Chain A
Amino acid sequence: MIDKIRDLDRRRAGALHSVGDRWRALPKWQRGLTFVAFVAFIYYLPLLGIPGLTWLRTDSISGGSNWAGVLFTCAVYVLVAIGLNVVIGLAGLLDLGYIGFFAIGAYAVALFGSVNSPVVKWFQAEFDLPPTWAVTWAICAFIALVMALISGVILGWPTLRLRGDYLAIVTLGFGEIIRIVARNMEGVTRGPQGISAIPGPEGPPSPDNQIFGLIDIKPWYWLAITVVLLMVFAVRRLENSRVGRSWLAIREDEDAAAVMGVYPFKFKLWAFAIGAALGGFAGFLFASRYAFIDPTQFNVNLSILFVAMVVVGGSGNMVGVSVGAVLLAYLPERFREIADYRWLAFGLAMVLVMILRPQGLIPSKRRARELKDRAAEAEEAPAHV
């Protein structure tokens, strides 16, 4: 049985490989054209209506399809996956508390942008502002980015010197702490009641909003996908820069990298902070679209889901993690009848992928080679575990 799966997987990988090679062999203008067509298609997606694929049953909107809403979730998850990929895939740091940064971004816009938040009320009382005053959405976006970035540095500073597996557990604890703090600090976050009336680009949610309303999700999707495309571009540039090469060097052999003049701590902190900022921004988008958040939305399972997206998709490869994110966001929505079992399926997927194909479904070539090297070493010299 397992051999059969292995064999199938090998054939699939071979096919994928040749696709990649052929793609790279195409002339530049053809590649450019395909890329433009692909981007146009991504923007067109919410208008698509293929029965079975895009007609998703919804419980929130009667008779309607929540296809755009599902696409929005996919886009946010892709953003998360890209951010987490910087941390896990490029720098090789296992961050199990990514939900913490996501929550910080979400709470940043909630606390500063919503008229219901205690922080805004405090500002109003302190500076004699009108009761409708709140920080503008665009500034909230900036605050969310900066807060997530700073929290990434604060968490990374003491912990990044730790060994990898310790780091994983500490970050897991961090994600849980953020949730408990959001639940317990009722004076600041309104605790379990949550914060409503979180603003969108057009201000707080109201029926007068022309574009970014609560019913039509398409504009939200277009907004999110624009952010995703920008971030993909930015991270790709980063990947091929001095910083990106340093990350790869650290991931593959930290000591060797240090000997070669790469200061691991500095670059790890960079990866951590950039990843945190991206996660925070994803949380920011999530909170503005739903206009309401409470601490229960940021539980640990989601953190593990994020890790699953990256490792199942193929850590280190941006296409891979995006595919992983889309799959893990789309499938539970498509198969709602059995969506209860999604955590079981995610867990199984993680175990199976790690045992059978640790480099992920669509691997980064470099990472696959690294793992293969290690396996070969194990065959030459067993015993050392």
Chain B
Amino acid sequence: MIPRPLSMQGDLVNFADLFGHIGQHTVDGLSKGAIYALIALGYTLVYGVLRLINFAHSEVFMVGTFAVLGLWTAFGVQNNPPIGQAIIFLVLGLIVAAIASGGTALAIERIAYRPLRRKNAPPLIFLITAIGLSLVLVEIFGLVLPKLLGEAVPSIFGRARIILGMPTIIEQKTLFTVLNTSITNIQLIVFVSAVVMMAMLDWFINRTRYGRGVRAVAQNPETAALMGVNQERVIMLIFVLGGIMAGAAALLWSMRFGFTQSSIGFVLGLKAFTAAVLGGIGNLRGALLGGLFLGIVEVYGATIFASNWEDVIAFVVLVIVLMFRPTGILGESLGRARA
């Protein structure tokens, strides 16, 4: 028998599954993309104002998931608590994650970016610093804290770099089925709360005094400063806002997927960044659009090829978008988000 080692196992592409359950895949993609979109907002806000890619934002999300895990562990949350308790834990989780993530984002800004901004460093130096910081944060949560606190809280920091499971707060149930597509309660919660969070942010940026300041600095920092906008405060504000959104994403992630890990941020961050670029980086509504679009494309792609190619799809989308429409679907610019 002649060996045929170069042949691929199974079918190379699988369109039948995709078109057979297209509605289901779309729903799955939307609920996944909603989380990407929330994280993408952090990239977009910072990019819109400072024109720099906050590479460490993925770790802001990671810290958020650890905060949620810590909170739920502290309260001894069991699987499937009664609905009243579940809501309390979710709300508390949101608050704690938002504080942890927002605080981390702010700390990153103060410790790393501020000294660089003073020196007018080239963008690549910002990026390298951010990569270093991101490595530091991953190692702190993956190695340093387990060594220090391993005995005190074994359920969170038992061993270095492990995948940590979380209790199921809400049991996954199919709410209703339309056109051969079942929508679960978790998918609905994730999608709706992500959209609500984004709508709130959009309102904040477009309708409030502080938001006007942000838009002014994004449009023209010098003129904004002359008009009495405190630039430093605006920069702190956008980092905190991005952090809060990442915290919300962390809560939704914990609820839906029920695990975390110190290295969780890397791939997710890259995907969220892709989403931000796809929608038009610096554009808030673009982040939503890009996130949802990427989520759908990814689920479709994983169905057509195989699920172990899933991570490649996001990168390929990123390259294609950057090649053919580097400004993204809606175009970049936070300043002109509401022209």
For the complex, is A169 an interface residue (Cβ under 8 Å from B)? Answer: yes
Q: Decide: A354 and B129 in contact? CB cutoff 8 A.
A: yes
Given A164-B124, A375-B120, CB of A341 within 8 Å of CB of B139: yes
Contact residues of B: prevailing secondary structure: helix
Q: Closest chain A residue to B2 by CB distance? A: A125
User: Once the chains bind, are A385 and B128 in contact (CB under 8 Å)?
Assistant: no
Return the chain B residue nearest A378 by Cβ: B120
Interface residues of B in 44-60 (CB under 8 A from A): 50-53
Which residue from chain B places its CB closest to the CB of A372 in the assembled complex?
B119
Are the CB atoms of B131 and A307 closer together than 8 Å? yes
Answer whether A184 and B308 are a contact pair too, CB < 8 Å, given A162-B326, A383-B221: yes
A180 to B302 alpha-carbon distance, docked (Å): 14
Which of B95-103, B176-184, B285-293, B312-320 touches A? B312-320
Report yes or no: B311 in contact with A176, Cβ–Cβ below 8 A: yes
Q: B132 and A308: CB pair below 8 A?
A: yes
A354 to B7, CA, bound (A): 48
- The reply to whether B52 and A354 form a contact with Cβ atoms under 8 Å apart is no
B266 at the interface (CB under 8 A from A): yes
**A188 and B143 alpha carbons, distance in the complex (Å):** 36
Q: Mark A320-360, 1 if CB is under 8 A from B, else 0.
A: 00000000000000000000110110111111001100100
Interface residues on B, range: 35 or more
Q: How many Cβ-Cβ contacts under 8 Å join chain A to chain B? A: 160
Interfacial chain A residues near B5, Cβ < 8 Å:
118-119, 121-122, 187-188
Does A371 count as interface, using CB distance less than 8 angstroms? yes
Chain B nearest CB from A347 CB (Å) reads 3
**Nearest CB on A from B311, distance (A):** 6
Among A159, A163, A172, the most chain B Cβ lie within 10 Å of the Cβ of A172
A271 at the interface (CB under 8 A from B): no
> Distance (Å) between the CB of A7 and the closest chain B CB?
17
Interface residue ranges of B14-45 to A (CB < 8 Å): none
The residue that B319 contacts in the complex, of A170, A180, A183, A301, with Cβ under 8 A, is A170
Supposing A170-B322, A307-B128 touch, asked if A180 and B309 sit within 8 A by C-beta, the answer is: yes
Chain A residues lying within 8 Å of B267, measured Cβ to Cβ, are 176
Residue B165 is within 8 A (CB to CB) of chain A in the complex = no
Per the bound structure, the CA–CA distance linking A301 and B52 in Å amounts to 22
CA distance A351 to B267 in the complex (A): 21
